[in-house]
Amino acid sequence: MIKILVAVFVGGAVGAILRELFMLNVPNPADLFPLDILAANLVASFLLGFATALHSRKAVSDGVNSLMGTGIAGGLSTFSSFAYGVAVLATASAMGALVAAAYVVVSLMMGYAAVVAGLMLGTKH
């Protein structure tokens, strides 16, 4: 149990720092579309799917799964910044509301595709 807690703590710290690097380095378009958070969420969704598939066929241990999936992928992805970003954009202007709607649709569809791609890549064929 202690091993899992340490793995999740360390992974979560690494994931959050990676997300900060996305926020500092991914350019944000003029229409304020939150490209940085979208990119972090998509990479994390793929990684979580991949780790979960490897773990379910016992290719990685519980500890590695906790580090990669619950830790790094969980720390890298964020729902709070996503939801608050939509709330702020949607109430800013008519254009903002359109960008917010596009952000929600693209995040949901591409995020789902990313996790499924990760699951498929990690599954032995």
Partner 1 sequence: MRPIDIVWVGLGGGVGSVLRLWIGRVVGERYHGDFPLGTFLINVSGALLIGYLSVLFEVDWRDRYGAALNSGVLTGLLGGYTTFSSMQLGAAQLAAKKESVVAVFYLLLSVVVGILAAGLGASIARAQG
Among 55, 60, 82, 122, binds partner 1 (CB under 8 A): 82
DSSP secondary structure code for residue 27 in this structure: P
Q: Is 122 in the site for partner 1 (CB under 8 A)?
A: no
Q: Does 61 bind partner 1 (CB under 8 A)?
A: no
State the nearest-atom distance from the C-beta of 9 to partner 1, in Å.
Answer: 4
CA dihedral defined by 114, 119, 120, 125, rounded to 10 degrees? Answer: 170
Residues 120/10/2/118 CA torsion (nearest 10 deg): 0
| Angstrom distance (rounded) from CA 5 to CA 43 | 23
Residue 31 in contact with partner 1, rule: CB under 8 A: no
- The span from the CA of 47 to the CA of 18, in Å, is 13
Q: Does 99 bind partner 1 (CB under 8 A)?
A: no
Q: Which of 54, 55, 119, 122 binds partner 1 (CB under 8 A)?
A: 119
Indicate the residue among 59 and 96 with the shorter CB distance to partner 1: 96
Nearer to partner 1, 2 or 94 (CB): 2
